[in-house]
Structure 1
């Protein structure tokens, strides 16, 4: 356990290194391949620490593709832990049951949450602030012609599909957002905590759970889940008078979608993208250009809009370094997963489960 804690502290230190020009804040994989087509990835850092993580992985035996976008907050430790542990846990449950299912996803999220809690408990005497670190978690799994999407927090998955005419690209939002600014989330929290009139508080136009955090579900953030972690020496701004039961949850919402020939791609992205682009704008940007560099175009479109909102030239904003840049936009992580339905058809009859020793081979991390 100490080795794991040391690794996370090292990751925090490494994220502070380097210059702050945009070339050091931006990274991309213009095009990569997965069993059902191609994918594109791009990220741009705005915070002082790079708190996001992502992954695209595949299992040759299952002929499946796994996508993860992890939007961390309070530090990089939770998103890093999820990246290292969620996928192996999912594989374990799939192997045990012999099939991919929403139940396997739910169990993988739960095991990952419990694993990070153990890490936080072990670190509490020396690193109590780890209890205030958390991560949104957006996962997609493509297996044969089935798409599974699981989500915690306010990242979003949007399907790009052909509309009524071949020239009309439509969007379908595949995820529910667990954000206190959403009326349905406010009602859910109020129904779960009828005795607490301050379960959601609006300050300066922003709704937050207990006036502290915008999201209502996450991995980590144990200071809002366990009384043991909501006390000294945790920073006073995180402490509540009492925490009789959790106010945040780690239970994801899961959607299963059968892919159709008109379904062309899915955009998996942290909320930093959706603060500046609508679902329709995003799918149109992707559909109007080649696959290569699709995620980069989305990130650049979002940062251009962020500059316009603050009446700053895009060329000038590119010179703004980490930390200060957060006043213009959030960290942004985008994965665009394209579908080749000829390949999906080729895999339609693939079966069999891997042994636990076969593990999964990453395409890119």
Structure 2
């Protein structure tokens, strides 16, 4: 397959190591941040739900696709984020598209979006009817310039990632919410890569900055810290009702399998009771990042368990990814359009599942390959 590095096939659960091509590889790509994907309690909850509800609902939420588990999960999400209500859909991608298309559904609305927002946000914006203005990444002067220039627009929606999925840095939500209040705009925050381990209570970037009551819609996925799939939009009751009856991604999409909802509900409980997982995640992240920096790698200002390693050249990036897999380390390669052209990077995702030995071995192999390809001296 030459340099093609995508869609490797795995043969086991993705913890600190996973089976690929009949050998163990250290997993630096999974979003299983808290290491819950193999938790026995989650597996048992899912098995029990299958016995009651079967494999799926075979229907959309507005008709036969809502079970007691779906409503319990929405209540759990609302309680977790401190909102009146929440809407659960069958993918995090769909949650962003559903929220943005429903909230910016008129031509007189304005969406103000960060340049590096996740592609699901970009796609949601393309489907929405509102006008669009883009500000340079985390550039608050540019954001205020756009807000000031459009002060007479009644319906303004600022959309940002809490933690940015390619660079691992964090949106300055303290400033963003202050500007939103000043210029009468609503704020929509994607907490996909921050739920569970960012903020004093693990509720994400909004929690970190203490602005939870100033953010109008919080989006989250269940496919990362919560070790399942699906997503939610947490907001006030009127907003959630509007989304339910206006977002095509909710109305015309099959509902989340009940077993998945049961697993996510159990993951929420474990996230609350097994706090050591968050502590281990951050210890692992610090250990890995320090090792990279000491070796001379550019980690691009990462502030989260997403740790990019700047490479630049796409071909070099793919060759390094291929070489690392040969050495027993799987790390993602991020190329255009996931990142700007000629700014490719290796993208490590650190989890609580990794042992110190696995982290140190991965660092050893990264340093070896970095020197082979002239990325570090």
Alignment TM-score, normalising by the size of structure 2 = 0.27
Higher RCO (CA-CA < 8 Å; seq separation 6+): 1
Alignment TM-score, normalising by the size of structure 1 = 0.28
Structure with bigger helix share is 2
